Structure 1
């Protein structure tokens, strides 16, 4: 991947983060027009819900940009690391997992008298997979969008799963796990009728600062992976 393309990706990521930061800043500034401390606490509930939305939204967008940048390189599977190669095998694995699938060679042998035997069906699918395995490695890497799944609750373990699938350091955000847990717990607490009174300024501010540190770190992580070609099997 050339430097010009990497610079363009960085621009995309930074622009997406900037508008999110600007929106949170705009909303936070409205606190100066609220006189009551209790009302300010309640207003911070809305701020926190919006903050979570931007946290999850940026993570999703950033990792989509990352996989698109790899897809656009027009690499073949044997060139990328095993995590990304495995992501690109989604359709092949789904076909293998389809217990109703009867490979053509299997139908040819047994014709209309297909044995209803699970182990034999599975063996036939394994043969089909092995037959094509060399061809599979020569095919283009196309990582599907569905690989980036935030599960609507982007807990630390979900973020870790995302990083693992994409072949990125799975414990990269370990130091922020406490703040992420607090953010998701608070967001869910608001949705489920808890935290009715809202939040003190120091509680909200601490979470906000941590969230934007995480999002800035995601940019650094993706840039490092692209510059150092960590998406390749030889890196």
Structure 2
């Protein structure tokens, strides 16, 4: 699969977000219309689904952006530093793990003499949510794809406490201490975060942030 244009990237991000938001809206409506005896059960189901779509969307959006950048077929010296690091990850791992000077020299030779060849930007098995998409993992994922984390720092407590901790308690068979109003706030925040990340990825593509500065 290739994603060659910003428009194609935007469409894929929009489509993925749209069906997830529709399903989450249906779940929210189900919670808000619940009878008192069903409310707790529906909130528990809703929390699990909110987290599932949060994790699923972030993973898919990041991978979609990797496919977009890979489809550009850029050379190493055309890429921004984060994508150079990602493309050279396997070589850098060998460099770190070996004490052989010959291999160290080979990597240095490669870096000095082969940056004008096409980079192989990996797209599979790169984005790891570890089924525990907390703020630290989100920060690492955004760093991999070169998206600024700054605007999401204020949401760290929300992600780790109000979403992840409550989701984990439900997953372990506990009842969340959450009412309809709190669930509504959770729904609003999660869908807003997903939309913000979608927007940031699309903006990065439009502004050519995947390229080295001053590369046309």
Structure 1 residues 44-83: aligned runs within 5 Å: 44-83=43-82
Change (3 A) 1:42 1:232: same
Cα RMSD (Å): 1.9
Q: Which ranges in structure 2 are unaligned for 5 or more consecutive residues? A: none
Paired residue for 1:176, among 152, 155, 158?
Answer: 155
- Conserved? CA contact 1:81–1:232, under 8 Å: yes
Shift of 1:198: 5.7
Q: Which ranges in structure 1 are unaligned for 5 or more consecutive residues? A: 100-120
Runs of 4+ in 1 over 6 A off after TM superposition: none
Paired residue for 2:167, among 181, 187, 201?
Answer: 187
1:229 to 2:177 alignment = no
Separation in structure 1 between the aligned mates of residue 126 and residue 114 of structure 2, nearest angstrom? 19
Question: Which residue matches 1:164?
Answer: 143
Deviations 1:152-186 (A, max 9, x none): 11111111111122222122312222221210111
Question: Which residue matches 1:124?
Answer: 102
Specify the structure having the higher radius of gyration (Cα): 1
> TM-score normalized by structure 2?
0.88
Separation in structure 1 between the aligned mates of residue 209 and residue 32 of structure 2, nearest angstrom? 46
Change (3 A) 1:15 1:190: same
Separation in structure 1 between the aligned mates of residue 187 and residue 114 of structure 2, nearest angstrom? 45
Separation in structure 2 between the aligned mates of residue 32 and residue 15 of structure 1, nearest angstrom? 26
Structure 1 residues 67-216: aligned runs within 5 Å: 67-99=66-98, 121-144=99-122, 145-181=124-160, 182-194=162-174, 196=175, 199-216=178-195
Question: Which residue matches 1:116?
Answer: none
Deviations 1:129-161 (A, max 9, x none): 122223441232222223322121111111111
Separation in structure 2 between the aligned mates of residue 164 and residue 33 of structure 1, nearest angstrom? 40
Question: Which residue matches 2:5?
Answer: 5
Separation in structure 1 between the aligned mates of residue 187 and residue 148 of structure 2, nearest angstrom? 24
